Amino acid sequence: MQNLIRNFFIALSTNKFLNKKARKWGFRLGAEKFVAGTDIDSVTLTIKKMNEQGISCTVDNLGEFVSDKEEAGKAKRQIINMLEKIHQEKLDCHVSVKLTQLGLDIDRDFCLGNMREILDAATKYCIFINIDMEDYAHFQPTIDILKLLLKDYQNVGTVIQSYLRCAEEVLDKLKNVRIRIVKGAYKESPAVAFQCKTEIDQNFLKLAKKRLLGNTFTSIATHDHRIIRQLKKFIQENNIPKDRFEFQMLYGFRQEMQYELANEGYQMTTYMPFGRDWFGYYMRRLAERPQNINWLIKDVFRLTRKKLS
């Protein structure tokens, strides 16, 4: 049953019609619990609040699967504006981007050009740019663009998903690149991805431990307290410096644990999405954690009651 629910919400996340309609709705279905704002000013206030608690942030200007150059150009300008805001406000924050939002599905060179403009601005302000990993169809194109960018920029990295069977092989090839390790949030074929939670978790731990024993900064992105507990023990046993890694969690998830890790002296970063294109992101969060459906049910009930009153 859980797999059916997960597949249902992942299918919704890729529905272009619903994604487009959701831009006009404003936050609905409980999305405001997990999306940090609709624009740069509102997300800046949230970043400041997290920074005051000793927590760093990475912001994601929501939007993906863009098929229009004008829309991709607007996204690029929004990201550059966010970089300028981070610099002006002296925020403890870096930026995460999706290549499909910047034109990967339109033209690779166009997307590459947009990324270069973003990285030029980020380099000027000494801000790191993380390229989010999307579905498997975009996996190799993302790696290819990353490798091209690494020839000219040092402040760029990407994400490796532990549900991919090729994850360890690719991670080994990127041993000197800053990486965020996640479990993965898309529905993929058994030919390319593990389907069993136990296998995905085991691979996550394997990848994280391997990186922790290296010398390159790594972001360990999970809300799983069992995995975090095992990694904390591994870190202590191997005397791994806390400046070599950080824990990452999504905005709105396990907030108390985020504060606890920060108070224990670990580097803690909150992944903070913002913008009007919230629907696809939120549906994937529901797919990952079915208990979040409670927020959706409450919001639908509230809207229905409001219409009837």
Active site residue 305: no
Q: Residue 264, exposed/middle/buried by CB under 10 A (0-12, 13-18, 19+)? A: exposed
CB of 97 within 8 A of CB of 79? yes
Enter the DSSP assignment of 4. Answer: H
> Tokens for 121?
């601005």
Distance in angstroms (rounded) separating the CA atoms of residues 277 and 268: 26
Strand partners, 160: 181
Decide: residue 226, CB within 10 A, 0-12 exposed, 13-18 middle, 19+ buried: exposed
Instruction: Give the angle 133-97-3 at the CA atoms, nearest 5°.
Output: 40
- Which one of 178, 180, 211, 285 is the catalytic residue? 180
Q: Which helix (H) or strand (E) holds 44?
A: helix 40-52
Terminal-to-terminal C-alpha distance of the chain: 35
Task: Answer yes or no: 132 catalytic.
Answer: yes
DSSP secondary structure, 131-194, as one string: E----GGGHHHHHHHHHHHHTT-SSEEEEEETTBTTHHHHHHHTTTS-EEEE---S---TTTB-
Residues facing 98 on adjacent strands: none
Q: Which residue has tokens 């994604």? A: 19
Distance in angstroms (rounded) separating the CA atoms of residues 55 and 254: 13
The total of other beta-carbon atoms located within 10 Å of residue 148's CB is: 13
Catalytic one of 132, 135, 201, 277: 132
DSSP type of residue 103: T
Spatial separation of the C-alpha atoms in residues 278 and 275, rounded to whole Å: 6
Query: Which are the catalytic amino acids?
Result: 132, 180
